[in-house]
Structure 1
């Protein structure tokens, strides 16, 4: 048994009375113990200056908060952040020199501060092949602007940097950073009912220039002098630089576990990490879910007669700040993932990983992203307020897995899909509750499955409520989903409850015993690959609730949390 404390010392022996200071020292000590070793983190913030990495040599080690599982459990935070303290105040704005630090997120007394923004290009503006022109002179003064393109496709949101602005007669010519803008011109091409669209179009918002600091509680990073960045913050009433705690995330990876077996994390808080790539010239050319484009060519999907979109021939996945790669028997229990600038927890490959009883909130991207693993269990987790920066991010995403179980999770307040399953094998989506999904982007659902499901998938006992944007399907099987049983689910207050006709068509799909407050599209003429039987539509909400009380009582978290 070893102890680690923010007040410890690595020259000590790691006992309760004389704990270590760093996780690295505790890791070294644990490696010398035969069999399982336990490392207990005492309350406080454990600041990392580099990612904490575990390998096969660390198999069998448990990292847990002191008092885990008791009323006296202490809050042990593993942080990749840096306090910002050297503020100068001018005209009510706090200013701090931060060197080459790329600040995309900022946390003020634990609150995620918004980036300063305006709602789009000022003046009469139009797009060009390399950027934009406008009759406004305002962009001539911009130094660090990032253009946001929400809804390029209904399910996509790009982020692209501005390179320069020059006066040309009575116009301002804006040149966008490359290669990001060129990739966006390559990717975003669509034809809809005879109308052709090319490129990302006009921005829906522009962020991060000091000129946009107009709302209290917002910040911007002036990057006009390379290596001499200046962070600016417009405080809320009552905030004082001498008393207010301001933290900027520095690390992009907090924890990486590769090749280890039977490692466990219990009761810990993972916080303050970032992802700086979208601020580089490559930008963030988003397509769908957690995937984005960085060149390599596009292909065309025909959506119907006279309608098509281009999509990436290959895409890259938003990284996670806590990553498990090719592990076996890993357990993550009762942990919190918060204030992170990418996805929370990422799993790639490996087998037998369990994530149980964890909370995911205040994340720039998704909560949990699982790819290519076997026997992963995601149970009793709460995912909410995610996708705050990358709006296509699902709450929970499962791709290319074998035998994955997603059960009794609660997903709420997310900008796009709640739970996403791509092509996989033997996935079971059981008794989950999704509420207030699809809050920003469109064409998705509370639960969304796409593509062939190998040995089959089961979607049973889920409750899907309040799927918000127009053009969504609460329970959505899409793009040639096959081998799926959809049974005893409850869908209510969606734009559409479900849909039976998609392209490519559904194959070997059964809808049985589900309850809806509106008939799914195509229910009266199911395609040949769909069996639709024993489903009940009850439009009155009280009657629907009464009829589904048993299903609803078993969906969502296994244990309530405050």
Structure 2
């Protein structure tokens, strides 16, 4: 039988039948109609949205037990009107709320009541606004104390309403950035005492307890010695396009915004994110989500816990014990969370199978973009991820997930240790023909473990990674990836350009990496293309047929089971021309990045 269609329009009504001439008003009403039919499907069910911003009053939750899956070999498809044609409608599923009631002060700053909202992100005229910041840290001579900081400057006492103030610590570990809230500011005529939120500050002091001997000296390192950046105070509202939230009165917060040129009160729309989940799926199968923009979602985790204590990748500390990791007497030690917590995503699908997420735009999101956890046979293709506080794509403990032809850029805008694409202990994952650029840390991260095997990282283009933090690379793999070269990870035909911060690597096999083949990749503009000495040491790793612009340290004496052979070093100054002149290099360049798109 032919497919069944339902329609959703901003001009519709939820008590209508959902036909083209009498559409539903909300996706939730369409979902209920779909649920009544899936048990007896004889064709696909397609839900079509007309153009516009559909503001979600609550998350769109798909659940197998509620009848949200396709059945009998057919699929449930959600898409815009005219999907795949030049007339495709622009449809946004938004978790935001428009802020109204603006007034302008004598200094040009707009203010509006925000109720109990304390947004960490803001969208003004369709563009992201950023939190007001002081990028030169605390003034004066600063001393860290058990409870916070003391400075001989009295300036901080002039900052109004410190309750929303947050300190940022880039490089608290070289690969980490912490955020901790301020509890109070006090002082006398000659000094200021800053008390930090607890238990976040005590937990940070335990987590970031480390020694580093590699650079010589006594290994002393205190990433919490003083914050480098201060955020969210009205005193820092100096730049157009920035905002701060005053929280002096509970439930009567005030939003302050310094407008950009051309923005006008009453005409420029300001949206604050409200929902923390736009869309979730649990146990669903044979479901297709395509052609949407997912936008304006929040995450209030740092506000609830007093900070964001990042460790590595998407992992952070919230509570529990700490583990001391000894890196060797010549290197030092670090502490890690015994039970790390992963950053959530504003769109997530768990325990799902045969799900397609295609041609969507994930933007202006306060957590991660998309999370697949415990999934099987999931496809993520042709999507764009940008202006996201955390990672673009994260895949955990899944099997046969394909991530292909996606564009990920300007993510990790708030949680800068977040990889653009993260794969955690997942089997037979394919990451192919994606483009990643302008990200603060790693481009692609694949962590191994008992479940990890058969990962393919093929023909991706990674440019300008490691923009903020150190000790990472364009493509990073850690721990064993399976149990043999035949079933291990294959990293082939990728192009990595311009790995920006110091102490970085184009291709980084770290922390006991094993059973990985790096074959026919191009690395240009990294500190060094690969690293051969890591702790714990790598084993059974092969670097063969790659092109790079500097000879790696230890090339002639790699670890016993590590193969480094048939790689080509080309002059750094003329590398781009030289690699194009080489037939193998030209072939790698031609294949890397999104297919069907001019680069």
Structure 2-normalised TM-score? 0.92
| 2:578 paired residue among 540, 543, 556 | 543
1:241-273: CA deviations, max 9, x gaps? 111111111001000010111110011111110
| 1:58 paired residue among 58, 65, 68 | 68
**Aligned residue in 1 for 2:461:** 433
**Aligned residue in 2 for 1:156:** 176
Alpha carbons 1:328, 1:351 under 8 Å: kept: yes
| 1:404 paired residue among 409, 426, 429 | 429
The reply to whether residue 77 of structure 1 matches residue 75 of structure 2 is no
Q: How does 1:254-333 map to 2 (within 5 A)?
A: 254-306=278-330, 307-333=332-358
Alpha carbons 1:505, 1:529 under 8 Å: kept: no
**Aligned residue in 2 for 1:127:** 144
Q: Root-mean-square deviation (CA), in Å?
A: 1.3
Q: Which runs of 5+ in 1 are unaligned?
A: none
Alpha carbons 2:169, 2:223 under 8 Å: kept: no
1:429-464: CA deviations, max 9, x gaps? 011010000000010000000111114111011111
**Alpha-carbon offset, residue 302 of structure 1:** 2.6
CA distance in 2, matches of 1:463, 1:237: 39
**Alpha-carbon offset, residue 417 of structure 1:** 0.3
**Alpha-carbon offset, residue 518 of structure 1:** 1.0
**Aligned residue in 2 for 1:373:** 398
**Alpha-carbon offset, residue 28 of structure 1:** 0.5
**Aligned residue in 2 for 1:518:** 550
CA distance in 2, matches of 1:48, 1:561: 35
**Alpha-carbon offset, residue 199 of structure 1:** 5.9
CA distance in 2, matches of 1:178, 1:142: 21
CA distance in 1, matches of 2:116, 2:411: 27
CA distance in 2, matches of 1:335, 1:133: 48
CA distance in 2, matches of 1:205, 1:170: 23
Alpha carbons 1:426, 1:456 under 8 Å: kept: yes
| 2:21 paired residue among 10, 17, 23 | 17
1:374-421: CA deviations, max 9, x gaps? 110000001011111111111100001011111110011100000000
Q: How does 1:70-469 map to 2 (within 5 A)?
A: 70-91=85-106, 92-119=108-135, 120-140=137-157, 141-143=159-161, 144-168=164-188, 170-193=190-213, 194-198=218-222, 200-306=224-330, 307-423=332-448, 424-454=452-482, 455-469=487-501
CA distance in 2, matches of 1:237, 1:264: 41
**Alpha-carbon offset, residue 561 of structure 1:** 7.0
1:443-491: CA deviations, max 9, x gaps? 0000000111114111011111111111100110000000111101111
**Alpha-carbon offset, residue 90 of structure 1:** 1.4
Alpha carbons 2:173, 2:223 under 8 Å: kept: no
Alpha carbons 1:149, 1:201 under 8 Å: kept: no
CA distance in 2, matches of 1:405, 1:169: 62
**Alpha-carbon offset, residue 65 of structure 1:** 1.1
SS at match of 1:139: helix
**Alpha-carbon offset, residue 195 of structure 1:** 2.4
CA distance in 2, matches of 1:458, 1:257: 30
The reply to whether residue 554 of structure 1 matches residue 582 of structure 2 is no
CA distance in 2, matches of 1:243, 1:352: 46
**Alpha-carbon offset, residue 520 of structure 1:** 2.0
Comparing 464-473 with 164-173, which one deviates more in the overlay?
Answer: 164-173
**Alpha-carbon offset, residue 295 of structure 1:** 2.4
The reply to whether residue 485 of structure 1 matches residue 517 of structure 2 is yes
**Aligned residue in 1 for 2:73:** none
Alpha carbons 1:501, 1:521 under 8 Å: kept: no
SS at match of 2:260: coil
Alpha carbons 2:442, 2:466 under 8 Å: kept: yes
**Aligned residue in 1 for 2:82:** 67
**Alpha-carbon offset, residue 281 of structure 1:** 4.2
Structure 1-normalised TM-score? 0.98
Q: Quick one: structure 1 residues 393 and 39, their matched pair in 2 at CA, closer, same or farther if it must change by over 3 Å? A: same
**Alpha-carbon offset, residue 312 of structure 1:** 1.6
The reply to whether residue 6 of structure 1 matches residue 17 of structure 2 is no
Q: How does 1:36-47 map to 2 (within 5 A)?
A: 36-47=44-55
CA distance in 1, matches of 2:68, 2:33: 10
Q: Which runs of 5+ in 2 are unaligned?
A: 71-75
1:37-87: CA deviations, max 9, x gaps? 110111101110111100111102110111111111011100000111211
CA distance in 2, matches of 1:42, 1:130: 54
CA distance in 2, matches of 1:146, 1:511: 44
Alpha carbons 1:429, 1:459 under 8 Å: kept: yes
**Alpha-carbon offset, residue 545 of structure 1:** 2.8
SS at match of 2:403: strand
CA distance in 2, matches of 1:382, 1:397: 14
CA distance in 1, matches of 2:442, 2:377: 25
| 1:504 paired residue among 524, 536, 550 | 536
**Alpha-carbon offset, residue 168 of structure 1:** 4.2
Alpha carbons 1:446, 1:475 under 8 Å: kept: yes
**Deviation >6 Å, runs of 4+:** none
